[in-house]
Amino acid sequence: MRHIIIPFAAIAVSAAAADMPDTSKMNVLLIDIEDCNAAVWGCYGNPICKTPNIDRFASGAVRFDSAYCQAYCCNPTRTSFLTGLRPLTTGVLSNGHVMNQHLPTGVLTLPEMLKNKGLYTAVIGKLFHTVDYADRQLATFDRIEMYNKPKGWNGPGPIIDLPPAERARTNPPPPKGKGKGYGEWKRRQSDRYGDSGLAREQEPDYQKAQVAAALLKEFAKTKKQFFLAVAQARPHTPLIAPKKYIDMYDPAKIPEPPAPASSLRGFPYTKRATGGNPDIFTKQQPTAQQAREAIAAYYACVSFVDDNAGVILDALQSEGLDKNTIVIFLGDHGFHLGDHNFWSKYSMLEATRRVVFIVRVPGAPANGKACRGFVEFVDIVPTLAELLGLDAKNALEGTSLVPLLADPDRPWKKAVFMVDGNGDQVVRTKDFSYLEFKSGKADVPAALYDLRKDPWETINLAEEPAFGPVRDQMAGLLKAGWKAALPPGR
């Protein structure tokens, strides 16, 4: 069922804004990366993966430890965090849904709101899922770098000259680019890990960071209020990185993944736990050695992204823009690293739904602290709307995080929500997760996990009589939806 969209005027300023600096003239830098397991970052507690740049950034920002996306793959989650609307409202539930054919009439995305406010808008690399899904939205950008251009866009050329970005390929794609041959070629491109065969300077992600640094230098000269979105394709598959990063990790020192298939009871995704996965290990489960090698390669990709983020953040500081720029660092959704015998995304389990999300607003009282309250990606647009005074035309389904940027320990949402491409849904509270499968595509109709005793979601308690009242409560919360889980007074 599609929700009705009600026109929404300017976001009201919360009481917490009194503790915040004047942010109305600040710039916005968004660094968005793909397919990122939140737990791999040092600042999120990983003792192995080396991420000094983002760790340093987090030390002066608000790190959201309980941040969740609204969908389990790229297109719907990006549509959600760029509109402030949930997937059941946007109508975008899968990567195959063309955003502009599903969005309700009149819905504006974040770049359009910022452009309407008068900000200079620039994007480097991927922001929306594909250009043809969002040609209207991308056409509003003043500058587009390292990204295909929408029809009719006549903006400036590249700000700096770079050698052609190279992509390591086992073989070129079939001429037609479609059909069975194309599908097999695409699988071979993603289903691999290790040395990319490229130097760091040849990698597209590094070049995006260099372009960002050049743009920041230009922005420092022009003094224009700007919005800059910078993408990083890694750690999306294939799990390949320059050799210097691969050499940073010894697979022998990588622990075995938790929640093996033998530990699962009443599991909703049995076929996948015993067979192939999307993107990587697509035909069969890896050996223990292959699993350790793949995790090591994933860490290498993350360290590569961390270095690139460091280039961008260092440029922001060296140009004197850090004191007047809101910085958001996020991964569009999570990624399984062998837990439950899962690799990649496409599940409603914790490894996919939990995301890395770090925000620095210059002068915010909560900078340098962690927020453990539940937040969601639909909260991003309402937050920036309040900080910058945007006229948000959408009926927003998120909650401004400005109060948490002032006081990260204040009571907040009691639950978060996600939907998958079949319309199945999950609600997660502090103590329980409840997954409901109405599409008939899972092995069970529902799954209930006690996260206090079973944080890896291995024992399904949905049919246990002793947990009947809990199941009813969680099912009721899922049915009541996000409005029933809002923070006190919101």
| 7-46 residue pLDDT tens | 333 333 444 556 899 999 999 999 999 999 999 999 999 9
Q: Under a CB-based contact definition with an 8 Å cutoff, are residues 380 and 32 in contact?
A: no
**184 or 118: whose pLDDT is higher?**
118
Asked whether residue 435 is domain-assigned, the answer is no
The one-letter amino acid at 178: K
Asked whether residue 479 is domain-assigned, the answer is no
Asked whether residue 438 is domain-assigned, the answer is no
| 227-249 residue pLDDT tens | 999 999 999 999 999 999 999 99
Give which of 111, 203, 93, 23 is closest to 424, Cα–Cα.
Answer: 93
Place 419 in a pLDDT band, splitting at 50, 70 and 90: very high
| 370-392 residue pLDDT tens | 999 999 999 999 999 999 999 88
Residue that the structure tokens 């736990």 belong to: 273
Residue count of the chain: 490
pLDDT of residue 475 exceeding 60: yes
Place 396 in a pLDDT band, splitting at 50, 70 and 90: confident
Flag the least confident range among 216-220, 344-348, 375-379, 439-443.
439-443
Q: In angstroms, rounded to a whole number, what is the distance separating the alpha carbons of residues 329 and 323?
A: 17
**Mean pLDDT value across the chain:** 93
User: How many domains does the structure of the chain reveal?
Assistant: 1
Give which of 234, 216, 384, 367 is closest to 303, Cα–Cα.
Answer: 234
Residues 6+ apart with CB under 8 A from 471: 434, 446, 448, 461, 462
pLDDT of residue 210 exceeding 50: yes
Strand 226-232 to 27-33 pairing: parallel
Give the E-state strand segments of 378-488 in sequence order. 416-419, 425-428, 432-436, 446-450
Residue ranges making up the domain that contains 185: 15-414
Average pLDDT rounded to a whole number, residues 337-356: 97
Asked whether residue 328 is domain-assigned, the answer is yes
Q: Under a CB-based contact definition with an 8 Å cutoff, are residues 74 and 46 in contact?
A: no
- What pLDDT score was predicted for residue 441? 87
Separation in Å, CA 267 to CA 141, 190, 197, 354: 45, 27, 39, 19
pLDDT of residue 6 exceeding 60: no
The one-letter amino acid at 209: A
Task: Specify the CATH number for the domain of residue 117.
Answer: 3.40.720.10
Place 166 in a pLDDT band, splitting at 50, 70 and 90: low
Place 167 in a pLDDT band, splitting at 50, 70 and 90: low
Asked whether residue 293 is domain-assigned, the answer is yes
| Residue % of the chain over a pLDDT of 70 | 93
Helix and strand numbers (H, E) in the chain are 15, 18
Asked whether residue 419 is domain-assigned, the answer is no
Residue 140 CB-density burial (10 A; 0-12 exposed, 13-18 middle, 19+ buried): middle
Q: In angstroms, rounded to a whole number, what is the distance separating the alpha carbons of residues 370 and 87?
A: 28
pLDDT of residue 80 exceeding 60: yes
In the DSSP assignment, the letter for residue 159 is S
Query: DSSP of 410-439, one letter per residue?
Result: S--BS-EEEE-TTS-EEEE-SSEEEEE--S
The one-letter amino acid at 6: I
Q: In angstroms, rounded to a whole number, what is the distance separating the alpha carbons of residues 224 and 88?
A: 37
Asked whether residue 373 is domain-assigned, the answer is yes
Average pLDDT rounded to a whole number, residues 268-296: 95
Q: Under a CB-based contact definition with an 8 Å cutoff, are residues 62 and 20 in contact?
A: no
- What pLDDT score was predicted for residue 184? 80
Rounded to 10 deg, the angle between the 380-388 and 74-83 helix axes is 30
Q: In angstroms, rounded to a whole number, what is the distance separating the alpha carbons of residues 169 and 179?
A: 19
